[in-house]
Amino acid sequence: MQLDSLIAGLEAGLAPTDALEKAGLGVGQRVPGEIALSVKSSRIYGSSLLPTLREIAETWQSETILQSELDGEFAAPRATIKLVTWLPVATLALALLLGFDLTTTARSPISLASMAVGLVLIWAARRWSKSILLKAQPSQCEQILQLRQLCIALASGATVRQAIAQVDLPSSAYELLVEDLAFSRATGANALPAVKRRIQQLAQKNFDSNRQRVREAGVKLTLPLGVAVLPALVFLVVIPMFNSAAISPTVGG
């Protein structure tokens, strides 16, 4: 990972420009926004890059853990989507093993119409299921990203006023910090820990919201299964099988 390589280079005593080049983040190469802001801030305030880069690494690691937990929550809904896709295929294959005669079915307009209805229901179930899953996709909180930029500037040695001006902090994000910053001014405490705590609170709230949507999606996915997939199996297999059995003696005669 480029960030780890950059931190390792700086810890080994390389100059920032050399460490950036070694990590593949030199001139002309794409640099992630937070790392670029860290480099810029260190140059403006004459501070070391290491503290801010370690903050970024810790944040990214926390994000990776939360994302892994969300991916685990998504496992059940994704399995349901696969069930919608493969259940009709497996059922049809089982029917063929039990003697379902596709040749006879193909000669019957009733069976063909029934299977056509079944295919339409399967298509509708897949579209419905994918729509439910799409609406459950994780959303990002813009205020978290904005406050993280503020943290980088503060960790580089900027005052609160300098940091807010540097990152052009929107009023919506600033309002979240009003009480924290007022307390820091009143006590003379460093504002950075308060901002980090606020970010953690927002991140947890956003994660809980995303997780709740995923779990709700898992419940909602039972609707296309019951309303569309199960009836589709009747139209795809049951009706054609009974119709095939009914017309087989006539065909044989």
pLDDT attached to residue 165: 92
Q: What pLDDT does residue 100 have?
A: 66
What is residue 251's predicted lDDT score, i.e. its pLDDT? 45
Question: pLDDT at position 105, please?
Answer: 67
Q: For residue range 83-134, list pLDDT tens digits in order.
A: 777 777 777 777 777 666 666 666 778 878 888 888 898 889 888 888 988 8
Closest C-alpha to 139, from 218, 76, 208? 208
Q: Can you give the pLDDT at residue 229?
A: 83
What was the pLDDT predicted at 35?
87
109 burial type by CB count under 10 A (0-12 exposed, 13-18 middle, 19+ buried): exposed
| Closest C-alpha to 236, from 126, 124, 127, 122 | 122
SS (H, E, C) the chain: CHHHHHHHHHHCCCCHHHHHHHCCCCCCCCCCHHHHHHHHHHHHHCCCHHHHHHHHHHHHHHHHHHHHHHHHHHHHHHHHHHHHHHHHHHHHHHHHHCCCCHHHHHCCHHHHHHHHHHHHHHHHHHHHHHHHHHHCCCCCCHHHHHHHHHHHHHHCCCCHHHHHHHHCCCHHHHHHHHHHHHHHHHHCCCHHHHHHHHHHHHHHHHHHHHHHHHHHHHHHCHHHHHHHHHHHHHHHHHHHHHHHHHHHHHHHC
- Model-level pTM greater than 0.85? no
Residues 172-198: what's their mean pLDDT? 87
pLDDT tens, residue by residue, 197-244: 898 899 889 989 988 988 888 888 888 888 888 888 888 777 877 776
Q: Please give the pLDDT value at position 247.
A: 64
pLDDT at position 156 over 80:
yes
Question: Whole-angstrom Cα distance, residue 10 to residue 8?
Answer: 6
Query: Of how many residues is the chain composed?
Result: 253
Residues with Cβ within 8 Å of 35's Cβ and at least 6 positions away in sequence, in order, are 2, 3, 6, 25, 53, 56
Instruction: Evaluate whether 29 touches 23 at the Cβ level (below 8 Å).
Output: no
Cβ neighbours around 50 below 10 Å, total: 16
- For the cut 70, the answer to whether the pLDDT of residue 2 exceeds it is yes
Render pLDDT for 128-152 as a digit per residue (tens, 0 to 9).
Answer: 888 988 888 888 888 999 999 999 9
What tokens appear for 36 in the block? 């670029």
| Confidence band of 14 (pLDDT split at 50, 70, 90) | confident
Q: Which pLDDT band, with edges at 50, 70 and 90, does 250 fall under?
A: very low
What local confidence, expressed as pLDDT, does residue 62 receive?
83
pLDDT in tens, 28-57: 778 888 888 888 888 888 888 888 888 888
Report pLDDT for 150.
Answer: 92
